[in-house]
Structures are given as C-alpha cells and as structure tokens.
Amino acid sequence: MTKQNMWVAGFVAPLMIAILLLCAGSPNVMASNNDKASAATAAVKIDNFVFGPQTLTVPVGTTVTWTNSDDIPHTSVSTEGVFKSKVLDTDEKFSYTFTKAGTYPYYCTIHPKMTGTVVVQ
C-alpha cells in the first residue's frame, strides 16, 4: 500500500462508518413514523354474552377497545394477567394497547364461559 492509499483508507473508513451510522439511523426514524401511522385501533363489542369478534387479529401497537353493549355488566380480563378491565356497565368501554406480538386469551370474570382472544402480530 502506498502512503497515499493509506491516507485514503484512513479517511474513507471513518467516512464509511459515518454513512453507515446515518443509514442505520434512518430506519429508526421510519419505524417511529410507522408507529404513528399504525396507531391503529380495533373494537370488540360485548353483546348477548359474546365477545365479538371472538378472535381479533391486530398488528402490534393496536389499541383494542371493548364496549359492553349488554344490559348486564361484564369484564374483559386477560387469562394471563396482561390486562384487566373494571366491571363494565352498559355502554362502558375498556381499552388496552398491545405492544408485543402474541396470543392473548381473555374472559369475563363475571361469566367465565365468555371468552375471546386477541392475536397480535
């Protein structure tokens, strides 16, 4: 390697690293933009002792809102303790934002036969 080549290498290498860092940084910016764009919401309606839809599939970051459309109080409680609503009277709502992918079974603690699942992907 000539002296000049070594100088170029010494100059170019840090420049390449700087460019790589810039490139590595931009997907993060895009990801946070995507997060904002995908501030998605989804709804589960509790009607006639049924969670509808029974299985709801949503992207990560989705806020799911349960609404009790029954004349009877219900709850929405994660089987694995991830979320827990208070007792929802008629037309009351409960929301939870799913930040991790996974399968989240839940049920109504007042009527344990009422079950549903949120699939986050």
- Residue 45 interacting with Cu ion (CB under 5 A): no
Nearest to Cu ion of 64, 108 (CB atom)? 108
Nearest to 89 by CA among 63, 65, 67: 67
| φ, ψ dihedrals at 38, nearest 5° | -95, 30
Does 51 interact with Cu ion (rule: CB under 5 A)?
no
Instruction: Please identify, using beta-carbon distances, which residue of 16 and 87 lies nearer to Cu ion.
Output: 87
Q: Does 44 bind Cu ion (CB under 5 A)?
A: no
Could you say which of 69, 111, 115, 119 contacts Cu ion (CB under 5 A)?
A: 111
Q: How many CA atoms lie within 13 A of 84 on its CB side?
A: 6
> Least distance to Cu ion from the beta carbon of 73, Å?
7
What mask, x for binding Cu ion by CB under 5 A, covers residues 67 to 86?
Answer: -------x------------
Using a 10 angstrom Cβ sphere, with 0-12 exposed, 13-18 middle and 19 or more buried, the burial of residue 100 is exposed
In the sheet that holds 55-58, the strands lie side by side as 55-58, 115-120, 102-107, 77-78
C-beta of 102: minimal distance to Cu ion in Å?
24
